[in-house]
Chains A and B, each alone.
Chain A
Amino acid sequence: MDIEADYDHSLPEVMLTYYRRLYPFRPIFTWLNHDHTPTRLFTHREWAFTLAGDVYLRYNSFATAEDLKKQVCDLNPTRFEIGPVYSARPRDRKTVRPSAFQPVQRELVFDLDMTDYDPIRTCCSDADICKRCWAFITAAVRVLDPAIRDQFGYEHLLWVYSGRRGIHLWISDKEALDLTDQERKAIVGWMTVVNSGKDSNKRLSVRTSSKSLPAPLQNVLENLKHTFTTLILRDQDLFASNEAAAALLEHIPDQEIVEKVKTNWINSACSTSEAKWVELLKTVRSSKSSDILQAAMEDIILYYTYPRLDAEVSKHRNHLLKAPFCVHPKTGRVCVPVDPEKVEEFDPEAVPTVAQLLRELDSITPATNSEESGNEHHHSDWEKTSLKPYVDLLNRHASSLMEKTRLEKRTQGSMAW
């Protein structure tokens, strides 16, 4: 117990040790830079630090990964964020004309946050998250990941667990980096089905005059039906409470049917969500105006299962987003990349905390010290901890980006020749 208290992540020296010995600066550099030698993608990139006591330092930029590490260790921030690539070095911004300091490139980012799911989850609320509500995130990744790859043709997607209750997506394709704010807004519009935020009304923005669902949504609907049954009806048992069941019936446009369903629920003593849903389905199928109702039923499934995006994060190039491998100040968990192929197996509660990682280091330190001296090798200490698989994931992602750059250079070279 004593040891655990020693490694409280709110202690500055604990964070400092984490940055000095574990934080994977080099992989982060290659991921942002797409190359071995620093390019504008790194040198003109904004970094923002949050220090203890809510001090916020914007417009930092660094020439190399070592530079970045040095500054992080000097400032010892509670967390730091990555911003866009500007037309000039952010730290020089006061020496250039305002018009010459504009954001020009930025990974396309998406943010999914469990708070947007509060109306439709029963297991926890607000900042809490458990393995059960992670299933919502899983469902969202299962929809978004293939959709972005297929529809927009992007290949370099990095999913990062936010450390508490959400997941971030960073898209590093060349075309995605270059998107303007207007184009980012367009993507968000294309992706948004359920309006999130406080004014999330129940109407979905999906149907055009043609009444049928657009093709991309039809395709995901089949999968979402399955999610709906397992997650909403069985696991969450959402409609067990009367309020939630009443909210469900608000989606049905036909008042007569709503009344009929209500009496049926009482008559056949439905208490579980599944029973209520089956009863609702039966009533709907027996009614006449089936086209509108069919659409309403589809809308219900989308409403309860379709990913809910925090749109504001994606719309603007100059939005800052927390860097991967930062430590979440509340939970002490590291923001680690998530493999979308294995997102079902991912358990947010099993993500290593700083305390755990430092304890792992302790157990190997004596051996290391006897063989090596000094601090030079500290940057690869993560290899000996449970952080390794996650850093490896980022490294694989970064090397696919570098491979792309290499190929581009080669074709350019051959054309010039």
Chain B
Amino acid sequence: MYRSGERQVAHETRETNALVENNGLLRYANALNFYDHPPLFDVTVDEFETTAIDRLRVLAEIESSLARNRTWEELKAITYAQYMKYVPLHTSTFTDAVEERRKDHLGHYVLRLAFCRSEDLRRRFVKAESVLFRVRFEQTEIELRKEFLNSRNFNWIAVTQEEKAQYHQELYSMYQSPKQENRADAFKKEKFSKVRWTRVPDLVEARRVFLKSGWAYVPGREQSSIIFQEFEVQLEKALEATSRLIPRLDEDSRLIPVLDNLSQGFVAGIASEWMNAAGSSSSSDIRAEMVDGLAKKHFPMCMRGMHENLRRDHHLKHFGRLQYGLFLKVLGLSIEEAVAFWRKSFDRMTDDKFSKEYKYNIRHSYGLEGKRANYPAKNCLQILTSSPSDVGCPYRTFSPENLQTALLSMYSQEGLKSSDLPEIMSTVKAGHYHVACTRVFEITHASCGVAKGEGIGGGESVTHPNQYAARSMELGKSKKEDDAME
């Protein structure tokens, strides 16, 4: 019964689509979308990728919010801010509405392709997407919600007045009214509908609905629960179907690399392109001799560790030099200062050897030699997924014991206490390395007024070592100014 109903709906929609192909607003009648139909329009490869990356940023932030046990209200506020920033979607209709909704639609489907590949990715994608849907649903005005619900056949049966009267006592005893209203009055107005209980397992588990012969009597206020459940189930099924079909994708080698890249984005959250927007942090130029002090106060663990290795061994291996050198470049170290810094650091070798074997590489990384490319610094994603020969993310590569010792020795001066370790270690254990890093940032910057859950500003997590360092220096500066004022 349920299947055939759905098919009918799909059929109708297809017909209307044919009629209104050119009229976008009819195509996207509501900002909320169940993503029943794939996007059937042309996109450039570029748009394909950027749209997906923008959406992925939002999903990654949702994931890290969940990993950090944020309350629903916090999560809602952060997610709202994030999606308005990257994939804005306004509920009311206005001129750009079609464009926004189109982007939302496209981004969702691209990510489906990227995340259908493994059980784990599917599960995480469904979770993050349904949270996003829920947040949007709750942000939507009641009227538009109703419109959305009516536009789709959810296959629930309205409970008639007679039936409601018949089970009055049972329904009433399990009824929870909205806070302000009188329970009896609210109950009188309430419209119940019934569905098979398996569609609302969470309500059944919490004993919040009345059950009779396998039918759950759901009050109007709880109906959103059915919708969320439906959204998850549909998406799960669709992802499984997609994963079976993807080997048959007629692919011209432009999309698969993009998709591969995207599906890695969940490891570290989506990496921010932390380009040095010339002048933002280099306004106060960093000199070679300042690096020591900065490393102690402002560097994330990966760079801090690299710096300490350099001081201890008076040397760094090639990939370490490359990674740390680029980080320093983006931090604001000019080429002259960089050469000075490395020369001083490698104080056990002759000038000749340094010029011959190292100087070229340093200049190369600044785009002054060879193909003269302006290399960006590595982001967390690249560091996390790098091959084992490289210097990876310490949260990932260190053994738990080593990590705890290292954390304490590096950050205890900045306010990290051993009582903070269990929390950090548990996120590491769950594989949320960037969350652990973000938490360390919060703890070590508590004196600058960074609260738990705030991250590197606005609840954002660390996705780039330079982002960590820049924010830390910014906070340090404003704190100094505050102190001076007093």
Contact = CB atoms under 8 A, between A and B. Distances in A.
Genuine A/B complex: yes
Nearest to A189: B205
A185 B176 contact: no
A185 B201 contact: yes
A185 B183 CA distance: 30
Contact of A210 (B176, B205, B211): B176
Contacts of B198: 175, 179-180, 183
A179 B205 CA distance: 14
Contacts of B215: 153
Given A152-B211, A153-B214, A216-B211, A187 B204 contact: yes
Contact of B119 (A99, A152, A187, A213): A99
B153 to A, nearest CB: 22
A212 interface: yes
Interface in A336-368: none
B201 A214 contact: no
Contacts of A175: 198, 214
A218 B173 CA distance: 9
Contacts of A190: 204-205, 207, 211
Contact of B202 (A179, A186, A208): A186
Contacts of A206: 207
Contacts of B158: none
Given A99-B119, A210-B183, A212-B173, A186 B211 contact: no
A290 interface: no
B284 to A, nearest CB: 55
Contact of B210 (A99, A185, A210, A215): A215
Nearest to A173: B214
Contacts of B175: 210
B211 A209 contact: no
A215 B174 contact: yes
Contacts of B176: 208-210
A414 interface: no
Interface residues of A, number: 27
B214 A189 contact: no
Contact of B173 (A179, A183, A187, A215): A215
Interface in B196-220: 197-198, 201-202, 204-208, 210-215
B7 to A, nearest CB: 16
B212 A150 contact: yes
Interface string A94-132: 000001000000000000000000000000000000000
Contact of A151 (B169, B171, B208, B211): B211
Given A214-B173, A218-B173, A186 B201 contact: yes
A214 B119 contact: no
Contacts of B213: 150-153
B201 A183 contact: yes
Contacts of B170: 215-216
Nearest to A185: B205
A263 interface: no
Contact of A152 (B174, B183, B201, B214): B214
A213 B207 CA distance: 11
A130 to B, nearest CB: 34
Nearest to A178: B198
A99 B171 CA distance: 43
Interface in B173-205: 173-176, 183, 197-198, 201-202, 204-205
Contacts of B212: 150-151, 153
Interface in A167-182: 175, 179-180, 182
Q: Max chain B CB contacts within 10 Å: which of A179, A190, A208?
A: A190
A154 B208 CA distance: 20
Nearest to B118: A99
B240 to A, nearest CB: 10
Contacts of A183: 198, 201
Contact of A186 (B119, B183, B205, B210): B205
A354 B332 CA distance: 85
A320 B335 CA distance: 68
Interface in A359-401: none
Contact of A189 (B169, B173, B183, B207): B207
Nearest to B233: A180
Contacts of B169: 215
B322 to A, nearest CB: 40
A291 to B, nearest CB: 15
B229 to A, nearest CB: 10
Interface centre among B170, B197, B207, B213 (most CB of A within 10 A): B207
Interface in B372-389: none
Interface in A286-314: none
Interface string B151-170: 00000000000000000011
Nearest to A184: B201
Nearest to B214: A153
Interface string B257-271: 000000000000000
B406 to A, nearest CB: 37
A152 B210 CA distance: 11
Nearest to B183: A210
A185 B198 CA distance: 11
A214 B197 contact: no
Contacts of A180: 198
A295 to B, nearest CB: 13
Contacts of A151: 211-214
Interface string A312-338: 000000000000000000000000000
B207 to A, nearest CB: 5
Contacts of B202: 186
Contacts of A209: 176
A22 to B, nearest CB: 38
Nearest to A147: B211
B450 to A, nearest CB: 36
Contacts of B205: 185-190
Nearest to A215: B170
Nearest to A208: B176
Contacts of B119: 99
Contact of A208 (B174, B204, B210, B211): B174
A28 B205 CA distance: 32
A185 B214 CA distance: 15
A208 B201 contact: no
Contacts of B204: 186-187, 189-190
Nearest to B212: A151
A21 to B, nearest CB: 42
B40 to A, nearest CB: 30
Contacts of B173: 210, 212-215, 218
A279 to B, nearest CB: 31
Interface string A203-223: 000101110111110100000
Nearest to B243: A99
A182 B174 contact: no
A108 to B, nearest CB: 12
Contacts of B197: 152, 186
A189 B206 contact: yes
A349 B378 CA distance: 74
Nearest to A206: B207
B267 to A, nearest CB: 22
Interface string A15-30: 0000000000000000
Given A99-B119, A215-B174, A208 B208 contact: yes
Interface in B63-116: none
A206 B173 CA distance: 12
A188 B175 CA distance: 21
Contacts of A153: 212-215
Given A99-B119, A189-B206, A182 B201 contact: yes
8 contacts: A180-B198, A183-B201, A190-B207, A208-B174, A208-B208, A214-B173, A214-B207, A215-B173
Interface of A: 99, 150-154, 175, 179-180, 182-183, 185-190, 206, 208-210, 212-216, 218
Given A175-B198, A214-B173, 8 more contacts: A151-B211, A151-B214, A152-B197, A153-B215, A183-B198, A186-B201, A189-B206, A213-B173
**CB-based closest 3 A-B pairs:** A189-B205, A153-B213, A186-B201
